[in-house]
Amino acid sequence: MHLKIGELSKKTSCSVLTIRFYEKEGLIPEPERTEGNYRLYDIGYVERIKFILNCRTLNMSLNEIRQLLTYKDNPEKNCSDVNELIDLHVCAIKENIIKQQKLIEQLSDLRGTCDGLCTIDQCGVLKNLA
């Protein structure tokens, strides 16, 4: 069974443009071509793209995914690197959350300096931003 790019797109819910983009980025290998120069994918591609999409859903970067994919290509090796990558990814997100929580505090303080009923001229929010 071989699929044209549009068919692969439907099977994976990944847009045609994105599939070509992943190819250019080296996340999926270049597939065969028909005589008319159409890409022809075997079923392995479905799995690979779904894997990528699952990683993307978890907000991994394409670099992180590239790493994971190269790990997958060495099935006999130890998986500690995989877990380290995930741990680092989690750390980064946690730090991000903390940053944003601090932002919320600052913004709430700022917002508290105006009731929204005065003129721009006297607006505490704008004064505190200056």
Q: Which residues bind a second copy (CB under 8 A)?
A: 47, 50-51, 54-55, 58-59, 68, 71-72, 74-80, 82-84, 86-87, 89-90, 93-94, 96-97, 100-101, 103-104, 106-108, 110-111, 114, 116-123, 125-126, 129-130
- Least distance CB 38 / DNA (angstroms): 4
Q: Which helix (H) or strand (E) holds 51?
A: helix 44-57
Is 28 within 8 Å of 48 (Cβ atoms)? yes
Interface positions with DNA (CB under 7 A): 4-7, 9, 15-18, 20-21, 34-39, 56, 61-63
> Smaller CB distance to DNA: residue 58 or 118?
58
- Rounded Cα distance between 119 and 114, Å, is 10
> Smaller CB distance to a second copy: residue 4 or 86?
86
- Rounded Cα distance between 90 and 93, Å, is 5
Is 84 within 8 Å of 46 (Cβ atoms)? no
